[in-house]
Structure 1
Amino acid sequence: MQQILSYLNEFLQQTNKVYLLCCTLFAALLVAANYKWGIETKMIQGIASRTARFGAFYLLYLTAFSVPYLICFLLGQKPGHQNLVITTVLVAPAIFAIKVTAGGWNELLRSAFAGSTGRIMALLVDWPLRLVITVSLLWVLKKLMFPGTNEVYGLTTRNFSWWPYLLLLAFMIPLVAFAATRPDFLHAYPKVKVLDRICPPAAPLWQKLVYELSYGSDFLTIELFFRGFLVVALSRYVGAVAILPMAVFYCSIHFGKPMLECISSYFGGIILGAVACYSQSIFGGIVVHLGLAWMMELAAAWRSGL
């Protein structure tokens, strides 16, 4: 735990407090606008065309990611390697918008396998396929933007110890328990309950376990993209400046989640971003993210009696 606190202390010492305040206020403004007008749930998800939906997500993510860098420039904190920063600001939202809107395999599987079998297969392969798509795009970017760089996305266990992150998860147990008492949380979780709706009254245990593993693969995608690409890779050129734009962007991908989860994602993004920046490893974030996701599933399943 001391190690994580030292990373946060280093982040606070190196970060302009006005910049931190401006980014936090901007994130709060985005969150308020989303839950007032339903930017994702009502506006974007209601778009029928996948291409148009991609464009809408791209604009949302571009706004969330670019404005913090613009604030940084306006405050006179101009990071080096500006061409690399500009390229990343333009390309990164497109990659995640592709990840969010990609599809077609669901329809193929449902048409190839009748009834609940096709629907279940579509669910189980969805997140892993999105991981494959994201990894492929990041591999191309590594070749183009970071040639000859080893461990560019923080896939290393150097400077990594399990215990601080397991202890952090232990501290989160009361927060998860509290969240599990809220109706909006129980409406969204556990995700696995979708299988019971497909196979009433209850899906087999093995299907639920495979589903949770599939669900967990999405957090590998998120950590690799947000902490690996947007923090570890960029911090080698711009330092700790990379953390806050990532945190606001990360907050924006939670606009379809319960508001408390969305708000906490901004601060969680800062914590995991600081860990990734100073350890140059994303494994701490993977442990915390996967652990928290499965804790939320278990807490919601227990409260729902599943």
Structure 2
Amino acid sequence: MKQLITYFKEFHQNLYRLQTLILIGLWATLLLSFNYYFDFEDSYIDHIKPFFLKGCVFFLYHVIGYLGTVGIIHFTTDRKLLVQNKEFWIKFTLVFIVLATARSFFFHEYLVEDLEGYTRIYFYKVFSKARKVIIIFAGALLLYFLYDKEKLPNFYGLDWKAKNLRPYFIILLLLAPFIIGASFTPSFQKFYPFVKYAYPDIIANNFHLPKAIFIAFFEFVYALEFFGVELFFRGILIFGLVKYLGRDVVLPMAITYAVFHFGKPLGEAISSIIGGYLLGVISYYS
């Protein structure tokens, strides 16, 4: 716990005035209100069929959230973050193309087109989860070898030699009561668990195998999706852009992380700002 306090105390020293934080809070509220009032992602973006068009919309959606936050910091502090060199803007564009592709390129549809019924539904859901981590990891490799191989000591924060993991376990313990409490709310119970939409019980009957096998396989791939998401938000968006933005790299990431959650229940999107920011600060140091 002492290490966590040290991280946050050092991180916030002479960083933001109240005015900056209020404006970023209002910006986040505006983004949340727009999406959930109009149900913009679920009712509009998700129904766009052409991959390229959907990708462009997701690209703009996330970039607006990110650059809006950067712009507030730019105009309310003495750090002119929007004044960057050509390398930054090219790399920045590639980073968000990776995210937009992961959210819009449904190549897994071609993998299940010859399957039928509930078998198709199950593997469609499984491959949908695998799709994001494959695209993000491929994009991370591209960015790493183009820009960061000679500059970073590891692959966007990943290291075989784990450093102090205690802060993460402490955060898990602190958040556990809130996560458990949220799991009993109607909106969360309606949305989760994702495995129920893959109908593992029906697939198990079709293949005459224990249901636990299909649940375990789904959850394993689902865990890999979390790995991909963390690699992008706490890896690429922190370590890939920190040399340009310094400590200011964390807040724009947290707001973008909320935009990424706009298809989820409102409570999850709001909490993702806090969670993303806390993990972003820890990632910045460890």
TM-score normalised by structure 2 residue count: 0.88
Quote how far apart the aligned CAs of 1:140 are.
Answer: 1.3
Letter in structure 2 aligned against 1:25: L
In the other structure, the counterpart of 2:54 is 53
1:165 to 2:168 alignment = yes
Q: Distance in 1 between matches of 2:3 and 2:251?
A: 20
Matched residues in 2 for 1:4 and 1:88: separation? Answer: 31
Aligned match of 2:32: 31
2:3 pairs with 1:6: no
Judging changes above 3 Å, is the alpha-carbon distance between structure 1 residues 2 and 143 closer, same or farther for their aligned structure 2 residues? same
* Distance of aligned partners of 1:67 and 1:88 in 2 relative to their CA distance in 1, 3 Å threshold: farther
Instruction: Report whether the alignment pairs 1:106 with 2:113.
Output: no
8 A Cα contact 2:98 2:135, kept in partner: no
- 1:271 pairs, out of 266, 278, 282, with 278
Residue 127 of structure 1 is matched in structure 2 by: 129
Please say if residues 80 and 238 of structure 1, whose CA atoms lie closer than 8 Å, have aligned partners that are also in contact.
no
- What is the alpha-carbon distance in structure 1 between the residues aligned to residue 60 and residue 83 of structure 2? 24
Question: Who is 1:299 aligned against?
Answer: none
Taking a change above 3 Å as real, the CA distance of residues 159 and 215 of structure 1, as seen in their structure-2 partners, is: closer
- Residues 235/145 of structure 1: CA separation in 2 closer, same or farther (3 Å cut): same
Alpha-carbon distance between aligned partners in 1 of 2:203 and 2:159, rounded to the nearest angstrom: 43
- Kindly provide the CA deviation profile for residues 134-178 of structure 1, in whole angstroms up to 9, marking residues without a partner as x: 111121112222241331501125572233322321222211121
Q: How does 1:166-245 map to 2 (within 5 A)?
A: 166-196=169-199, 199=202, 204-245=211-252
1:260 aligns with 2:267: yes
Q: Secondary structure at the match of 2:194?
A: coil
1:32-61: per-residue Cα shift (whole Å, max 9, x none)? 111111121112112222222111111101
Question: Is the aligned partner of 1:96 residue 2:103?
Answer: no
Match of 1:295 in 2: none
Report what 1:15 is aligned to.
15
How many residues align structurally?
278
Rounded to whole Å, the distance in 2 between the matches of 1:9 and 1:47 is 45
Partner of 1:297: none
TM-superposition CA deviations, 1:160-203 (whole Å, max 9, x none) = 22333223212222111211221101011111112337717987
Match of 2:119 among 112, 117, 120: 117
Q: What letter corresponds to residue 136 of structure 2 in structure 1? A: T
- Would the aligned equivalents of 1:27 and 1:248 in 2 still touch at CA under 8 Å? yes
Instruction: Please say if residues 66 and 89 of structure 1, whose CA atoms lie closer than 8 Å, have aligned partners that are also in contact.
Output: no
Is the contact between residue 153 and residue 232 of structure 1 (CA under 8 Å) also seen in structure 2? yes
Q: Measure the CA separation in 2 of the matches of 1:74 and 1:270.
A: 21
Give me the whole-angstrom Cα distance separating, in 1, the residues matched to 2:23 and 2:155.
Answer: 29
Q: Is the alpha carbon distance of 1:167 and 1:129 closer, same or farther for their aligned partners in structure 2, counting shifts above 3 Å?
A: same
The gaps in structure 2 that reach 5 residues or longer are none
CA distance in 2, matches of 1:183, 1:137: 36
Offset of 1:115 from its aligned partner? 3.4
Q: Is the 8 A contact 2:187 2:265 kept in 1?
A: yes
Given that 2:122 and 2:200 are in contact with CA atoms closer than 8 Å, whether structure 1 keeps it comes out as no
**What stretches of structure 1 of length at least 5 have no aligned partner?**
280-306
Maintained 8 Å contact 1:54/1:97: yes
Summarize the Cα distance change of 1:253–1:143 in structure 2 as closer, same or farther, 3 Å threshold: same
Stretch of structure 1 that moved more, 156-165 or 247-256 = 156-165
- The one-letter amino acid of 2:11's match is F
RMSD value, Cα:
2.3
C-alpha separation between the residues in 2 aligned to 1:195 and 1:127?
11
TM-score (norm 1): 0.83
Identity of aligned residues (%): 27
Amino acid at match of 2:230: E
